[in-house]
Amino acid sequence: MRGADLINLLLPDEILDEVLRRVAVSGAKRDLDACALVCSRWRRHDRATRRSAKLAASGARADEVLRLVAERFPALVEVSVDERISVEAAAAGPSCAAARSRRRPMYDVSPSGRRRRMSRSSNFGAHMSPFPLDQPGSDNETERTCLTDVGLTSLARGCKGLEKLSLACYIGDPGLIAIGEGCKLLRNLNLRFVEGTSDEGLIGLIKNCGQSLVSLGVATCAWMTDASLHAVGSHCPNLEFLSLESDHIKNEGVVSVAKGCRLLKTLKLQCMGAGDEALDAIGLFCSFLESLSLNNFEKFTDRSLSSIAKGCKNLTDLILNDCHLLTDRSLEFVARSCKKLARLKINGCQNMETAALEHIGRWCPGLLELSLIYCPRIRDSAFLEVGRGCSLLRSLYLVDCSRISDDALCYIAQGCKNLTELSIRRGYEIGDKALISFAENCKSLRELTLQFCERVSDAGLTAIAEGCPLRKLNLCGCQLITDNGLTAIARGCPDLVYLDISVLRSIGDMALAEIGEGCSQLKDIALSHCPEVTDVGLGHLVRGCLPLQSCQMVYCRRVSSTGIATIVSGCPKLKKLLVEEWKLQETNEFFAPAYPLLPSYATVFLLLLEIPYPLQPKNIKLKHL
């Protein structure tokens, strides 16, 4: 019978819940919202089972929205409250029935065919003008333009099962304490850009739900001092993940955490005030530590890493950023003691020399990923040891290591045959010999990035094309590459998904034509600063690469509005386009017909042509069309 609902009446509740659960796991929030609109039964089930929500902290109705969400979605487990999202002020209409808002569509479709970006606060928030406004307890007449503690308190009381909470907004201490009192199962807490609170609030929260807390992250919260960390140490014995970014933390705070949280597995510290004593304590007490990340740590010396090495035998990940006082001896300690080391990243530790890597090569056979950024003193001989010792290496990432030459990379290629990712930026001494060696030895290479490596030429690229089935290739700034090299790539790597050929002066339309023919899976292409590419080449590219989603082509002086129109009309899946704004404005007659073909969720980024020096992010205007 037409129009009759046969299945819904027979579907048991458990099956419906299971269906909704699977939609939540695999689909977008949009899909779940659509399910909630099918009928009132489905909406009831969705409300009873919805597990995660992203809520707005800006807008005058934020408190009310949060209260309603807490009442109607009691099963929420993961909540993120963000002040970048805003509840749009709905028209106040006390007589509008709630029923009318239920039938209103979820999104407005504006005339240009693009969905207006709705606030991501609960489905009903933005359209729900007519709920009864019971005034909150406080009587002061101050203008409320954002979330306050009242809203957070209602969230805490309503969602008792909350496990994961992320706050990025302006709230006060009572709000945090309310969360602590209400959500006794809280496992993950993340505070970022939270202002208006003080240590009191966080301490209150921790005292109440510290037992269940497993993960704590605090960043850009200038109020946090050691007092909070003392509380963490006293009340959070089960803490496994801690990430701290603060200028006021000193040694005592970190020592308290070390003594109290013996089960700590991941530690990320960006604290200028702490030094060696802090890490001595971590090494002494936190023997389960697996991942350590130290950023801008200006005060600690080799002594810290020696303590860590002695105590944390399970260390697998080590990240050191801008640690100027460290020398090779630190890495020797770590290498000799932490046999399970798998991921190592050294950024800007200028006093680390060749010996540091030699120790790693000799003592860490399990190394999987190695990143060296701005290490100008490391020389080729270090890689001889790494090549010999670390045969399981999967990923190598080198930036600004100016002394590394082809020989070093040949050692790696011959020793680390399982390499899948290789990335080199500004390797001015690297040339074709290294590439040929990789092509012969590393048949699993999938991602290759060679940015500003000026000696790399077509010969090396052709070898790679024949030897390695690449999926991602970045050749930005390798000036010697010509159309021939790219032709070889197009013919040899049909699985290519991402290609960046920016700042290549000699490539032209022939390369694009070959890529169009050969790389039918291409989703992402960047060809900015290529002066010889013209609209004709773009036409060939678009004809072949149907799955193209993202295209960047700024500063291509021979590409005109016609070329842009070709891209827009030829790529049905286009989501992101980076191009100069004047190229679009010039040709309304070309662009206008093509524009409605852009999928409604596409975002077109436009770059203004006048770029004053220096290029600061604030000088670029990005517009959503």
Q: Which residues bind other proteins (CB under 8 A)?
A: 348, 374, 400, 426, 452, 454, 477, 479, 503, 505, 529, 555, 611-615
Task: State whether residue 308 is helix, strand or coil.
Answer: helix
Smallest distance from other proteins to CB 430, Å: 15
288 or 555: CB nearest other proteins: 555
CA 200 to chain centre: 31
Residue 79 in contact with residue 162, Cβ under 8 Å?
Answer: yes
Dist. CA 93–CA 104, nearest whole Å: 15
Dist. CA 595–CA 331, nearest whole Å: 56
Residue 335 Cα distances to 196, 231, 316, 366, angstroms: 44, 34, 11, 11
Smallest distance from other proteins to CB 382, Å: 20
25 or 615: CB nearest other proteins: 615
Smallest distance from other proteins to CB 398, Å: 13
Q: What is the CA radius of gyration of the chain?
A: 28
Smallest distance from other proteins to CB 502, Å: 9
Smallest distance from other proteins to CB 267, Å: 26
Smallest distance from other proteins to CB 408, Å: 19
Smallest distance from other proteins to CB 529, Å: 6
Residues 6+ apart with CB under 8 A from 554: 528, 529, 578, 579, 580, 607
Where b means 16+ CB within 10 Å and e means fewer, 285-316 reads: bbeebbbbbbbebebbbbbbbbbbbebbeebb
58 or 451: CB nearest other proteins: 451
137 or 612: CB nearest other proteins: 612
Smallest distance from other proteins to CB 400, Å: 6
Task: State whether residue 501 is helix, strand or coil.
Answer: coil
Dist. CA 497–CA 274, nearest whole Å: 44
How many C-beta atoms surround the C-beta of residue 77 within 10 A? 16
Task: State whether residue 122 is helix, strand or coil.
Answer: coil
234 or 506: CB nearest other proteins: 506
Residues 6+ apart with CB under 8 A from 138: 150
Smallest distance from other proteins to CB 448, Å: 19
Smallest distance from other proteins to CB 465, Å: 25
H or E element at residue 251: helix 251-260
Smallest distance from other proteins to CB 264, Å: 32
Q: Which of 600, 586, 572, 509 has the alpha carbon at shortest distance from 114?
A: 600
Residue 477 in contact with residue 503, Cβ under 8 Å?
Answer: yes
379 or 505: CB nearest other proteins: 505
Q: Which of 434, 318, 349 has the alpha carbon at shortest distance from 383?
A: 434
For the chain, how many helices (H) and strands (E)?
Answer: 25, 20
* Residues paired with 442 in a beta bridge: none
Residue 437 in contact with residue 417, Cβ under 8 Å?
Answer: no
**DSSP structure string for 502-570:** TT-TT--HHHHHHHHHH-TT--EEE-TT-TT--HHHHHHHHHH-TT--EEE-TT-TT--HHHHHHHHHH
> CA quadruple 110, 114, 116, 118: dihedral positive or negative?
positive
66 or 456: CB nearest other proteins: 456
Q: Could you tell me if residue 452 is left (phi over 0), alpha (psi between -120 and 50 degrees) or otherwise beta?
A: left
212 or 321: CB nearest other proteins: 321
Smallest distance from other proteins to CB 427, Å: 12
Dist. CA 240–CA 214, nearest whole Å: 5
Smallest distance from other proteins to CB 143, Å: 39
Residue 266 Cα distances to 225, 241, 242, 269, 330, angstroms: 20, 5, 6, 10, 20
Smallest distance from other proteins to CB 249, Å: 24
H or E element at residue 148: none
